[in-house]
Amino acid sequence: MRHVRFHEHGAPEVLITEEAEAPEPGPGQVLIRTEAIGVNYVDVQIRRETDPGSIYFRPTPATLTGDVVGTVEATGPETDPALVGARVATLLEDAYADYVVADADWLVSVPLGLSAGVASMLPLVGAVALGALRVGRVAAGETVLITAAAGAIGHLAVQLARQRGAGTVIATAGSTTKLGFLKDLGADVTVNYSEPDWTDQVRAAAPGGVDVALEAVGGELLHQCVGLLAPYGRAVIFGASAGSWESVSPMSLVGLKSVSGFSLLAYRALDPEHARADIAELTRLFESGALRAETHELPLTEAVRAHQMLEDRAVTGRLILVP
């Protein structure tokens, strides 16, 4: 089978497609024949990171994460054999391959009528979008600001914020094309955050401040988002694609503001019942057409190009690799 990994940190070209034996499922695991792999921006950071002290660092040779959609081909010991033949989706640390092994505990059942691209949204990006909105406690009529809103998580958060009762959804992105995409998704206000006056544009749309900010960029942008919060406003951090989280000073929160973090893995561990209920809700929304997923496909052999597109911020919605 084909298996993509990297033996040194660096540019997208370090990704190499190798031939390998199909893995064997261990206790509590299943073997999945891959149908599609949802690509995550965090792997750009993992691939580039050379500082062993960073949360993104992985010793080489290293594999790439992703949301795999596929069919269970075999089960390991202590695993229900009835899973063979099931169509499932799951988040994996080693995802770029024709066959993968996964723990059975967090397999997501995928309806046959759901496309592979849409199904790839269930284990991670949809769950993060919905979970971050829950942490933000969005109430009816509130104003929600979403950064990096044209990305895989962000474009779902725009729609989910509206469905959860937000009165005004302000979505930011870095290009005119992406702003048009966000308008089509139902954002009330779109702002190019690469423009120097972007915060003034948000203040013009929300003079009293924003009630909830979903933030995935980090660095100065996170600091600016905290400054845009209304009294009792809540910022929820779920990523740092272009910076760190260290820009938030406690003094910036004294105006009755708060900053929280959302981790899907922590959510699963602490509240598995609600985490599973979120996935079931997302599945229903996708099946009914109430939630739209934007996907773009590339062959598995073009993993290098996929990472180049992510680095260039050239993707709206989600990029998936297809074996």
Domain 125-266 fold: Rossmann fold (3.40.50)
Q: How many residues does the chain have?
A: 323
Q: Quick one: average pLDDT of 111-135?
A: 96
The CATH T-level fold of domain 2-121+293-322 is Quinone Oxidoreductase; Chain A, domain 1 (3.90.180)
pLDDT tens, position by position, 221-250: 888 999 999 999 999 999 877 766 666 666
All CATH 3.40.50.720 domain ranges in the chain, comma separated = 125-266
**What's the rounded Cα separation, in Å, for the pair 249 and 33?**
47
Kindly give the pairing relationship between strand 29-38 and strand 318-322.
antiparallel
Which of 2, 96, 10 lies closest to 308, judged by CA? 10
Q: 54-79 pLDDT, tens per residue?
A: 888 999 999 999 999 999 999 999 99
149-189 pLDDT tens trace: 999 999 999 999 999 999 999 999 999 999 999 999 999 99
- Provide the pLDDT for residue 242: 72
Q: What is the pLDDT of residues 259-309, one digit of tens each?
A: 999 999 999 999 999 999 999 999 999 999 999 999 999 999 999 999 999
Which residues, 6+ apart, have CB-to-CB distance to 244 below 8 Å? Answer: 218, 219
Give CA–CA dist 258/254, Å, rounded. 9
In this structure, of 98-107, 114-123, 216-225, the range with the lowest mean pLDDT score is 216-225
pLDDT of residue 217: 86
Q: Where in the chain is the domain with CATH 3.90.180.10?
A: 2-121+293-322
Which residues, in sequence order, are bridge partners of residue 260?
A: 236
Give the pLDDT score at 246.
67
Mean per-residue pLDDT for 83-91?
A: 98
| pTM for this prediction | 0.94
